[in-house]
Amino acid sequence: LFIDASERSGHPIPQTLFGIFFEEINHAGAGGLWAELVSNRGFEAGGSNIPSNIDPWSIIGNESSIIVSTDRSSCFEHNKVALRMEVLCTSEGTSTCPSGGVGIYNPGFWGMNIEQGKSYKVVFYVRSMEAIDISVSFTSSNGLQTHASANITASASDVSNWTKMEVLLEAKETNHNSRLQLTTSKKGVIWLDQVSAMPLDTYKGHGFRNDLFQMLADIKPQFIRFPGGCFVEGEWLRNAFRWKASVGPWEERPGHFGDVWMYWTDDGLGYFEFLQLAEDVGALPIWVFNNGVSHNDQVDTSSVLPFVQEALDGLEFARGDSSSRWGAVRAAMGHPEPYDLRYVAVGNEDCGKKNYQGNYLKFYDAIKRAYPDIQIISNCDGSSTPLDHPADLYDFHVYTSANDLFSMSNKFVHTSRQGPKAFVSEYAVTGKDAGTGSLLAALAEAGFLIGLEKNSDVVQMASYAPLFVNTNDRRWNPDAIVFNSFQAYGTPSYWVQRFFTESSGATFLNATLQTDSSTSLVASAIAWKNSDGQTYIRIKAVNFGSNSVNLQISVGGMDPNSVKLSGSTKTILTSAGVMDENSFNEPKKLFPPCRTHSNTAGKCGQGDECPTFTTFFNFI
């Protein structure tokens, strides 16, 4: 491999090249990155009709001690369902309550992770005509051990109207499979609504689960595309994500049933929180909105204006100053400064559907008129033939076999250099080559990404999909980050992304590979100046073949009088079998350990994680 490291070599890689795509799929948000422990906090999973679906809430007590029902008496206008508990037993007398009382419990998303010494804020709304005495506790999954508890008492006059209760619980012990209980031994009728339990310890107090947030931050994403995917479209328009229903006080958000990935979300992770996530992780937000098209129904272009106005209002929410109508809502939520929203995508995978083009143009014109600087992303693929409509970028999605994706490292070679740029907003190896996250898939993806770097004069952005999976609800295979209530690991595909963190904004160096095994080998080199003022070169090589290859690397074009080499490191991602995967038991079975190659001044030891800025990256 000959690398020309001279000043005039190569081309600049866009600052935005590598980012992430967050979709509410596989419980990525609800029961994932969003740290809320209670699932279905408003008792209306599946909708606002009664009797409503209170799942996964369960009842403590039997028919002779408690009657639980739902009615529409809540104080929250957009989510009227409340839970009614009629307690038939008492603490003493003939109909004595079981020890610990009767009530309800919520196991969260396949168990709540409660950690010793940590505090959790529990909030709920209550109403009763009688005085109340409610025990709020985290217990073991069978309710027998109590890990934290507090009693809430109030006189009848204090709770005759809906009243917010708040209590801080500190866990006495750790349990990854805990549950939240609200119980009482006091006869009477109690209404409950909007029950939340949040760990105090979230990223900057913004509600993001720390370990999962850190895994995102480590990718150093330049952008974050959100909130889907199919999640944005819905099977039916009535179930699509609606940004307005996801902002404002959490108690007032109706939540919705995502009918593509088939689960309820309380929408605690809403439009505001996505914008905040982007800011916190240092990425530019890319908002995907519904353009009046779902999987099964669509709005005619002649009637699409309400959707257009919805998008314009969403832009005002993100960018308007706090004197604007929607900017004021954002400011009231704690972010008076506008968010740095520069990109929007009109729909997801909708090109070719009857009304897409017509609708798209309505959005395009209205947005460009109001916000000329906003970059608009079309769903139509312009990689082979130019688009027949105006756009700043076009979406390109690919899910395929390992061989196919590896061969697609040349995909954008013949793409026209004029016109809109490509946004490879979803790519992954899927099917039998991928398992639930194999080395083979990661190798092919690495080859593909090298091709994107090479063609980054026409490819402006790329992100893997999907990002997260809660192992208790795998809706899609494979995914980059696998987690449960308390653990997380990266698949090999995740680690591949980590090796491209310095590419965005770097210089792609001209490099020539002279090899007989050209079909199984791809390689590239980038150079960048680090914050320490030093210039670094990273060489990446992927051997996709089954034979080992000796690769000789020569770097030329540097002026020996001005360049002093200070050393190098080498990192190898490999395994005994190409279908090997990481797991909770072996989270780093496939993990690229760092080797000091020559005279690097102790940057890393054998087997450590490489400081990414000094990494030479090889796959063998």
Judged by the rule CB under 6 A, the positions of this chain that interact with ligand AHR are: 23, 25, 228-230, 348-349, 426, 465-466, 476
Q: Which is nearer to ligand AHR, 264 or 616 (CB)?
A: 264
| CB-count exposure of residue 167 (10 Å: 0-12, 13-18, 19+) | middle
Output the smallest distance, CB 401 to ligand AHR, in A. 16
Q: Which is nearer to ligand AHR, 350 or 502 (CB)?
A: 350
* Residue 255 C-beta: closest distance to ligand AHR, Å: 20
Nearest distance, CB of residue 355 and ligand AHR, angstroms = 18
Q: Shortest Cβ distance from residue 363 to ligand AHR (Å)?
A: 18
65 vs 491, beta carbon nearer ligand AHR: 491
Question: What is the nearest approach in angstroms of ligand AHR to the Cβ of residue 383?
Answer: 17
Do 229 and 465 touch, CB atoms closer than 8 A? yes
The least distance separating ligand AHR from the CB of residue 231, rounded to whole angstroms, comes to 6
DSSP states of 547-561 as a string? S------EEE---TT
Neighbours of 273 (CB within 10 A): 24
What is the C-alpha to C-alpha distance for residues 43 and 61, in angstroms, rounded to an integer? 18
Q: Pick the closer one to ligand AHR by CB: 233 or 316.
A: 233
Nearer to ligand AHR, 343 or 544 (CB): 343
Count of CB atoms situated within 10 Å of the CB of 247? 23
**Cβ closer to ligand AHR: 295 or 540?**
295
Least distance from ligand AHR to the Cβ atom of residue 225, Å: 10
SS (H, E, C) 75-132: CCCCCCCEEEEEECCECCCCCECCCCCEEEEECCCCCEEECCCCEEEEEEEEEECCCE
Query: For residues 349 and 580, which CB has a smaller minimum distance to ligand AHR in the complex?
Result: 349
Tell me the angle at which helices 356-370 and 305-319 cross, rounded to the nearest 10 degrees. Answer: 40
Nearest-angstrom CA–CA distance, 429 and 445? 7
For the chain, the helix, strand and coil percentages under 3-state DSSP, each to the nearest 5:
20, 30, 50
Report helix, strand or coil for 464. Answer: strand
Please name every residue paired with 397 in a beta bridge, in sequence order, or none if there are none.
Answer: 426
d(CA 528, CA 12): 10
**In the complex, what is the shortest distance from the CB of residue 396 to ligand AHR, in angstroms, rounded to a whole number?**
12
CB 30 within 8 A of CB 470: no
Residue 227 beta carbon to ligand AHR: minimum distance, rounded to whole angstroms: 10
DSSP letter at 479?
-
| Edge-to-edge order in the sheet of strand 593-596 | 11-12, 507-509, 521-529, 535-543, 615-618, 569-572, 593-596, 608-609
CB of 260 to ligand AHR, least distance (A): 7
Nearer residue to ligand AHR within complex by CB, 279 or 395:
395
Q: Which residue number has the CB closest to ligand AHR?
A: 229
CA distance 250 to 84: 21
Estimate to the nearest angstrom the gap between the alpha carbon of 132 and the chain centroid: 40
Q: Which is nearer to ligand AHR, 428 or 459 (CB)?
A: 428
